[in-house]
Amino acid sequence: MKIIGIETSSPVFSIALADDNTMIFEIRRGRRIFGPNRDAGLFDDVRDMLKHYEQSQISAIAISIGPGLFTSLRVGLSLAKGLAISWKKPVVAVNTLDLLGTASSVIPGPLMAVIDAHHNELYAASYKAGSRISDYRLITPEALINTLSGKWTAIGSGSALLAKYHFEGVDINYIESESFLPNAAKVIEIARPRIEQQQYERIDDLEPFYLKRTDAERNRNKTNEI
């Protein structure tokens, strides 16, 4: 079973091709913010990667769906949808927080996956022993830490923001290792069981994953800050 993986939620784009549990191809490129080539050469890389394979040899496409950088996610979705439609292949979407949460399989104790959502907010979810143990949340650093006690590990682009806050009774270890960052190989790893069970997405429904606060919630937070 050959699966294409696409990960564009962060400033580093990556694509991969796996044959069952063997990684055949993987490449990572920094996103170019300016200039005409905003896809960082990703489309050319995919074309080169697939030129040695027939359409019939590819089983499915796995794509990271966010949360993350909006424009970058759109690049990945455009690529995944284009391949899915032209090659008539199914797609499985993977939440970026779950990609970060895979680190809980090798890191003991509870882990927080946190992505910077800007405006002093975080996308967050909690994990333990490889499983998610909370809902996906859009939350302020203060509110998040107020829900914690004891020892935790934090991983993701929101760690720098979270590290600015300190509360008694909470001990957080911040990990910045590149080995735990989202990448296309991990996208394939998480998506594979769903592909095997044919739990595919509807192409027309594929959109970046985002959590948004209501205006009432934002206004309530502003009132509390006065």
- Is residue 10 scored above 90 in pLDDT? no
2-96+180-205, what's its fold? Nucleotidyltransferase; domain 5 (3.30.420)
Residue 38: band (very low, low, confident or very high) from pLDDT cuts 50, 70, 90: low
Residue-wise pLDDT for 99-126, tens only, equals 999 999 999 999 999 999 989 999 999 9
What DSSP character marks residue 10? S
Whose structure tokens read 């882990």?
111
Instruction: Look at residue 166 in the predicted model and tell me its pLDDT.
Output: 84
Instruction: Look at residue 154 in the predicted model and tell me its pLDDT.
Output: 97
- Is residue 224 scored above 60 in pLDDT? no
- Is residue 35 scored above 50 in pLDDT? no
- Is residue 214 scored above 70 in pLDDT? no
Helix axes 42-50, 70-87, angle to 10 degrees: 30
pLDDT over 90, % of the chain: 71
Average the pLDDT over 165-179 and give the result.
87
* Full-model pTM: 0.88
Residue 40: band (very low, low, confident or very high) from pLDDT cuts 50, 70, 90: low
Average the pLDDT over 38-67 and give the result.
88
98-178, what's its fold? Nucleotidyltransferase; domain 5 (3.30.420)
Residue 211: band (very low, low, confident or very high) from pLDDT cuts 50, 70, 90: confident
Where in the chain are all domains bearing CATH 3.30.420.40? 2-96+180-205, 98-178
Residues 171 and 151 sit within 8 Å (Cβ to Cβ): yes
Is the preceding peptide bond at 67 cis, omega within 30 degrees of 0? yes
pLDDT over 70, % of the chain: 89
Q: Which candidate, 186, 188, 202, places its Cα nearest to that of 59?
A: 188
Rg (CA), the chain: 18
Instruction: Look at residue 32 in the predicted model and tell me its pLDDT.
Output: 58
Residues 209 and 67 sit within 8 Å (Cβ to Cβ): yes
Instruction: Look at residue 159 in the predicted model and tell me its pLDDT.
Output: 93
Instruction: State the Cα–Cα distance between residues 100 and 123, nearest whole angstrom.
Output: 12
Lowest mean pLDDT among 40-54, 83-97, 161-175, 198-212: 40-54
What DSSP character marks residue 201? P
Instruction: Look at residue 185 in the predicted model and tell me its pLDDT.
Output: 95
- Is residue 1 scored above 90 in pLDDT? yes
Instruction: Look at residue 67 in the predicted model and tell me its pLDDT.
Output: 96
Residue-wise pLDDT for 70-79, tens only, equals 888 998 999 9
